[in-house]
Amino acid sequence: MKLMQLSVLLAALLPAMTMAAPYKVVAYYLPSQQRQYSAADIDASKMTHLNYAFAVIKDGEIVADQSSGTDQSARDFILLRGLKSRTPKLKTLISVGGWAGSREFSDVALTPQSRKKFADSAVAFLHKNGFDGVDIDWEFPVAGGDAANIMRPEDKQNYTLLLQALRERLDKAGKQEHRSYLLTAAIGNNQGFFRNTEMAKVAAILDWVNIMTYDFSGSWSKFAGHVAPLNNDPVLARPDADPEFNVSSTVEMALAAGIPASKLVLGMPFYGYSWKQCGALQHGQHQDCNGKGRGGVEPGELDFADISGTLVNRNGFTRYWNDAAKVPYLFNPDTGEFISYDDVESLDYKIRYLKQMGLAGAMFWQLSADRDAVLLDKVAKDLLKP
């Protein structure tokens, strides 16, 4: 009788156990010769998916980026295959495009023939290099992105058609090979992006979307703001500050545009931005500044590892906390330098938020900026551990 009761209980619990899908932890990896971090340093146990950034578009096809003049990609792809053999649950995707690599997307999306050529090249790239899927990082259809990008009004519909062509080609290959290939996209963080895309249709095509909920303010801005505030802080309002430039407002836009919460992966920055000669009021927050502050690989941009290791409550900087926006920041009153970034405390609020909203998981840009795995450990602990 007890055995029967146990069987009935297990039968009742099984659907709930089956439905409780694990969170995704999507790590972008950008090779960098300037950082002491390589593909060999990646700890695959702390992520579910690894997006290699970036492949580029050449003559309408996906190819490895050879701009550095080295065979780094080829070496990295071998290392990634080794990672997968040691961590069978890891899935790797090749990310195509990015800010500097989106110029040709409008052309490859333009016609049925160009879309087919691109999709065929995607499958060939996966076969050659051992990836499990493709991540499309078109920045951005119709408007925005780099000034050199090719842009057309019909990008709105062609973005959907390009992803549909990719989906059909990947599914055909997967059926032939008795496996499945992943298709995802990195998407924008403002109303303009959602006006210029058909995200309800796109979300139905994709396995999930990685929403870039960061870069709400940066060293390109005249005033010092926060790179990824969870919420708007009305105290810091100024006429040229957008109250919707924050994580929670952008997630609401994405859901309103038709992306299911179960397909939305929340982006997190593993870097910060700096400004110089900022006004001293409110410890520099939203004060006018005189351009980019100190940087690492890029002027005005700092890896979390460098911020954490050398600047937090050191070298004239004091760490402060904005409790409305749920983000930290640094200010040096002697130089007027202001630095916005995320840390373990702010990620704690973002992770709690994504769980409350029923989102699919977390994505971050990018691994080598967190060389000591401080932020990665936080994300993995909260999303992958029982």
Domain of 179, CATH number, reads 3.20.20.80
Q: In this structure, what token pair is assigned to residue 186?
A: 């990195």
Band (pLDDT 50/70/90 cuts) for residue 324 is very high
What is the pTM for the complete model shown? 0.94
Domain membership flag for residue 321 = no
pLDDT at 38 over 50: yes
d(CA 45, CA 25): 10
Which structural domain range is residue 157 located in? 21-269+342-384
d(CA 367, CA 124): 27
Q: How many domains does the chain have?
A: 1
**Is 139 considered catalytic here?**
yes
Write the DSSP symbol of residue 288: B
Percent of the chain with pLDDT over 90: 88
Position 67 scores a pLDDT of 75
Cβ of 224: how many Cβ atoms within 10 Å? 30
Domain membership flag for residue 265 = yes
Q: Please state at what angle helix 247-256 crosses helix 344-356, rounded to 10 degrees.
A: 30
Please list, residue by residue across 73-93, b when 16 or more beta carbons sit within 10 angstroms of its beta carbon and e when fewer do.
beebbeebeebbeebeebbbb
Domain membership flag for residue 302 = no
pLDDT at 248 over 90: yes
d(CA 98, CA 118): 16
Query: Which residues touch 265 (CB under 8 Å, ≥6 apart)?
Result: 24, 26, 208, 209, 210, 211, 359, 360, 361, 362, 363
CA atoms within 13 A on the CB side of 205: 23
Domain membership flag for residue 110 = yes
Domain membership flag for residue 315 = no
- Which one from 61, 139, 301, 337 is the annotated catalytic residue? 139
d(CA 99, CA 118): 19
CA atoms within 13 A on the CB side of 14: 7
Give tens-digit pLDDT for 39-60: 999 999 999 999 999 999 999 9
Domain membership flag for residue 2 = no
Out of 16-20, 102-106, 211-215, 298-302, least confident range: 16-20
Average pLDDT over every residue of 191-201: 98
Domain membership flag for residue 317 = no
